């Protein structure tokens, strides 16, 4: 029988599992706590009876991702990690230092099947969904390696989090648990390319978690060129669902907009976007596109980005131009990719 991966379980699930072994329920909390204090073996859980420890050894495992590479940016101390998951796939995760605290950018899938034209993550399609434990453990492993506490999470690494919805929700429950990493829900942000039914589920399941939506265009025509998902859902439908989301949660949505030279960065695009977003409780995050080898696209100039922002401001749409961290180690948005061999070709 396959061993139970303990980081895949919420505390409640672990309680049931422990009871199914014929053990007392309170043992689950002891085990859960010790795991997120950093225990990597049952041996060190000395508050558990010896017999239980060896029993756990036989039927359960604690760790779930294995660090295979680490790069540290000389510019800003950003750390990019490559983690191997069961079955051989690898995912990337990033540790960033912001003024407001340390932030982990986590992957939700190995690869991605959304196929956005400008993004490296989907270049090879989807390999598989990550389990909750594999999502959580990226954070735990980086925190241990950097010897730093992580207080903020963005699920903006490889993958479309809403294409792996159940494991995402389970991972958030674990990350938030007071007996575990104890991360405030408001400090967690999930980014989606816009899977509408899941945006509404998320409003119900996790109303306190922050939501970011990748927009990248001001009209359907352009959006369809950049993002295949736009052929399933129109922008009008997407923005309607975003309005519903805000009604349900009272939360401000962040719209991400990667500025691509000559594609979506004209003043006309900025005006169109402003008109569409007018009156919404939102914030626009402009990201000058990072170069990705296989796409022919290039990032906009600083000057054009500023002009774009200025127009949005005129329409009173809150906007920021994102500061890029880790671009010297290809850790910036859209540069995370699956395979190590792919990366070594870059150098
Ligand atoms: N699949 C989710 C999560 C990815 S988050 C989503 O689409 O939202 C990463 C963010 O970086 C998304 O907004 C994505 O569109 C953006 N991105 C992808 N490639 C990029 C690139 N080359 N330059 C800048 N941003 C990029």
pLDDT of the residue at 340: 47
As a whole number of angstroms, the distance between CA 94 and CA 96 comes to 6
pLDDT of residue 270 exceeding 70, the answer is yes
pLDDT of residue 279 exceeding 90, the answer is yes
Band of residue 332 on the pLDDT scale cut at 50, 70, 90: low
Best probe residue, ligand 1, of 114, 168, 193 (max atoms within 8 Å of C-beta): 193
pLDDT of the residue at 345: 36
Q: What is the pLDDT of residues 248-267, one digit of tens each?
A: 999 999 999 999 999 999 99
Strands 90-98 and 101-105: antiparallel
Apex 138 CA angle, 133 and 142, nearest 5: 140
pLDDT of residue 32 exceeding 50, the answer is yes
Atom of ligand 1 nearest to the CA of 154: 5
pLDDT of the residue at 347: 31
Q: What is the pLDDT of residues 197-210, one digit of tens each?
A: 999 999 999 999 99
pLDDT of residue 330 exceeding 90, the answer is no
User: Taking residues 85-92, what's their average pLDDT?
Assistant: 91
Residues in the chain: 347
Residue ranges lining ligand 1, Cβ < 6 Å: 114, 116, 118-119, 156, 160, 191-193, 214, 256, 258, 287, 289-290, 292, 333-334
Would residue 92 show up in a list of annotated catalytic residues for this protein? Answer: yes
User: Taking residues 68-89, what's their average pLDDT?
Assistant: 91
pLDDT of residue 120 exceeding 90, the answer is no
Mean pLDDT lowest among 40-49, 145-154, 235-244, 295-304: 295-304
Band of residue 134 on the pLDDT scale cut at 50, 70, 90: very high
What is the torsion angle, in degrees rounded to the nearest 10, for the CA atoms of residue 162, residue 167, residue 173 and residue 179? Answer: -150
pLDDT of residue 196 exceeding 70, the answer is yes
Query: Contact, 131 vs 79, CB < 8 A?
Result: no
Mean pLDDT lowest among 75-89, 196-210, 302-316: 75-89
For ligand 1, the distance from its centroid to the CA atom of residue 334, given in whole angstroms, is: 5
Q: Rounded to two decimals, what is the model's pTM?
A: 0.94
Band of residue 341 on the pLDDT scale cut at 50, 70, 90: very low
Mean pLDDT across the chain, nearest whole number? 92
Band of residue 1 on the pLDDT scale cut at 50, 70, 90: confident
Q: What is the pLDDT of residues 99-117, one digit of tens each?
A: 889 999 999 999 999 999 9
Task: Find the DSSP H helices in 147-195.
Answer: 165-176
Band of residue 331 on the pLDDT scale cut at 50, 70, 90: low
User: Taking residues 132-145, what's their average pLDDT?
Assistant: 96
From first CA to last CA, the distance across the chain in angstroms is 43
Q: Which residue, judged by its Cα, is nearest atom 4 of ligand 1?
A: 156
Would residue 333 show up in a list of annotated catalytic residues for this protein? Answer: yes
For ligand 1, the distance from its centroid to the CA atom of residue 229, given in whole angstroms, is: 13
- Residue ranges with strand state E in the chain: 4-5, 60-61, 66-72, 79-84, 90-98, 101-105, 109-111, 126-129, 152-155, 188-192, 210-214, 253-259, 282-288, 319-321
pLDDT of residue 342 exceeding 50, the answer is no
Mean pLDDT lowest among 72-76, 218-222, 268-272: 72-76
């Amino acid at each position: 029988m396959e061993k139970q991966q303990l980081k895949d379980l919420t505390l409640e699930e672990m309680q049931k599992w422990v009871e199914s072994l014929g053990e007392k329920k309170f043992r689950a909390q002891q085990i859960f706590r010790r795991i997120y204090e950093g225990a990597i073996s049952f041996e060190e859980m000395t508050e558990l009876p010896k017999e239980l420890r060896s029993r756990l050894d036989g039927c359960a495992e604690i760790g779930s991702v294995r660090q295979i590479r680490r790069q540290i940016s000389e510019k800003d101390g950003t750390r990019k990690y490559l983690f191997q998951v069961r079955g051989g796939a690898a995912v990337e995760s990033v540790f960033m230092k912001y003024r407001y605290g340390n932030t982990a950018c986590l992957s939700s899938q190995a690869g991605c099947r959304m196929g956005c034209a400008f993004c490296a993550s989907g270049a090879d399609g989807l390999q598989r969904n990550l389990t909750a434990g594999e999502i959580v453990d990226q954070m735990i492993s980086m925190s241990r390696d950097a010897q730093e506490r992580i207080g903020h999470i963005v699920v903006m690494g490889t993958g479309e989090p809403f294409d792996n919805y159940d494991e995402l929700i389970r991972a958030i429950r674990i990350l938030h648990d007071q007996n575990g990493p104890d991360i405030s829900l408001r400090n967690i942000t999930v980014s989606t390319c816009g899977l509408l039914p899941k945006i509404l589920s998320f409003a119900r399941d996790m109303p306190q978690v922050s939501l970011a939506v990748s927009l990248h265009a001001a009209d359907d025509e352009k959006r369809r060129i950049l993002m295949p998902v736009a052929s399933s859902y129109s922008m009008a439908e997407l923005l309607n669902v975003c309005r519903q989301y805000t009604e349900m949660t009272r939360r401000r949505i962040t719209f991400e907009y990667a500025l691509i030279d000559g594609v979506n960065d004209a003043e006309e695009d900025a005006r169109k976007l402003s008109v569409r977003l007018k009156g919404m409780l939102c914030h626009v995050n402009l990201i000058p596109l990072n170069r990705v080898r296989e796409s022919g696209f290039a990032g906009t100039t600083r000057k054009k980005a500023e002009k774009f922002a200025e127009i949005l401001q005129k329409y009173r749409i809150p906007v920021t131009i994102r500061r890029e961290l880790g671009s010297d180690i290809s850790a910036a948005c859209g540069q995370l990719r699956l395979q190590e061999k792919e990366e070594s070709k870059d150098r």
